[in-house]
């Protein structure tokens, strides 16, 4: 058994954490060690005061990259669910992790219109009212992945179907080793 | 197999990382998953710009506590080697970790005179010349543990003997579960 870091990137509300949670539960029930790291967890634990400027997001994500690498080299499947909107920062993340463990970038794809319609935490509404600064999709850019290892379109599929696709991808990554 | 966090506290130069490395190597060779986290690693990865004021040290160590907890709940033996000079911060660390995984505080004991004589990184000399601020033992206090789970006196024993004591302590912690 070898660990792997699967990095889910996509707009807020695209479904990253939702499908990550389903996969975590299914793989755990099959006996795998799995961790899901997401922004809510990180901001509640190792990065309490993190902001959302470009540089703060960058430092935040590089920290996560190191932690994911540390877990993965101890045979944990690490699902990282982060908007991670900047291409160059995602490339840095990949560099850090893949020095030691397998890394896979998954683009959880969803149109801005649909993500705004879902708005599970009410954050788009707040951002549109100007109550949140640097909000991806509204007042901060999302740079689409150019060569993701997998694209999961969450507009065309149900969360369960999307999770099935992700789960199979993870299992393939592990088998390849 | 269950994970555990073993927190080594003591003056700079007391031998924490030296004996931690020996134990890591021996336990790994016996098939255990072991990580040694120390200040050098953390400051090179997840906390690049960390300073040495009381509050910066605190944030630094609480981050480590969360990472150690995350590893330990995935069945890793985590040896944490940090001066961690403040009693209240060590208590916070213990609270965070022991919410979920076993935690043990080990005091790596050595007199200031002996630590200054060893001075493996030349830091005491720098601190005495005023080139380093907030240096534990010189310009910042070290608060001795009041009820550590184990005391290892590195003045009275060789590094190999000290490591043997620590290794047996770790193995006992694992067996107790």
CB contact residues (below 8 A), chain A span 71-90, against chain B: 71, 74-76
Write out chain B residues lying below 8 Å of A35, CB-based.
70, 74
pLDDT band at B1 (very low <50, low <70, confident <90, very high): low
Tell me the mean pLDDT in the region B159-166. Answer: 97
Distance from CA of B155 to the nearest CA of A (A): 33
Evaluate whether A78 touches A33 at the Cβ level (below 8 Å).
Answer: no
Give the pLDDT of residue A117: 95
ipTM reported for the complex, 2 dp: 0.91
| Residues spanned by the domain of A110 | 4-176
pLDDT digits (tens, 9 = 90+) for B30-64: 999 999 999 888 888 987 777 788 888 898 899 99
Q: Provide the CATH number for the domain around residue B73.
A: 3.40.50.300
Q: Which of B57, B46, B48, B19 is nearest to B135 (CA)?
A: B57
Write out chain A residues lying below 8 Å of B48, CB-based.
59
Tokens of B59: 């944030």
Output DSSP code: residue A38. Answer: E
pTM of the model: 0.93
Tell me the mean pLDDT in the region A142-157. Answer: 96
Give the pLDDT of residue B50: 73
Evaluate whether A167 touches A23 at the Cβ level (below 8 Å).
Answer: yes
Are B74 and A70 within 8 A, CB to CB?
no
Question: Would you call B84 a catalytic residue per the annotation?
Answer: yes
Give the pLDDT of residue B52: 80
Q: How many domains does chain B have?
A: 1
3-state secondary structure A30-66: CCCCEEEEEHHHHHHCCCCCCCCCHHHHHHHHHHHHH
pLDDT band at B123 (very low <50, low <70, confident <90, very high): very high
Tokens of B126: 């720098």
pLDDT digits (tens, 9 = 90+) for A55-97: 888 988 999 999 999 999 999 999 999 999 999 999 999 999 9
Q: Report the residue of A28, A55, A63 to disrupt the B interface, i.e. the one with the largest count of B CBs within 10 Å.
A: A63
Return the SS3 of B123. helix
Give the pLDDT of residue B152: 98
């Amino acid at each position: 058994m070898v660990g792997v870091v699967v990095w889910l990137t996509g707009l807020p509300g695209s479904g990253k954490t939702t499908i990550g949670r389903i996969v975590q539960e299914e793989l755990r029930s099959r006996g795998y060690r799995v961790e899901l790291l997401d922004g809510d967890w990180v901001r509640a634990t190792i990065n309490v005061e993190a902001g959302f400027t470009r540089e703060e997001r960058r430092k935040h994500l590089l920290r996560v990259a190191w932690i994911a690498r540390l877990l993965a080299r101890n045979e944990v499947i690490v699902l990282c669910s982060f908007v991670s909107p900047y291409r160059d920062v995602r490339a840095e993340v990949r560099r850090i992790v893949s020095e030691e463990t397998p890394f896979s970038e998954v683009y959880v794809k969803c149109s801005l219109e649909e993500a705004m319609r879902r708005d599970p935490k009410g954050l788009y509404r707040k951002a549109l009212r100007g109550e949140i600064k640097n909000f991806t999709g509204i007042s901060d850019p999302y740079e689409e992945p150019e060569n993701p290892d997998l694209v999961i379109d969450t507009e065309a599929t149900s969360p369960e179907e999307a999770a099935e696709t992700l789960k199979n991808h993870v299992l393939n990554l592990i088998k390849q080793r």
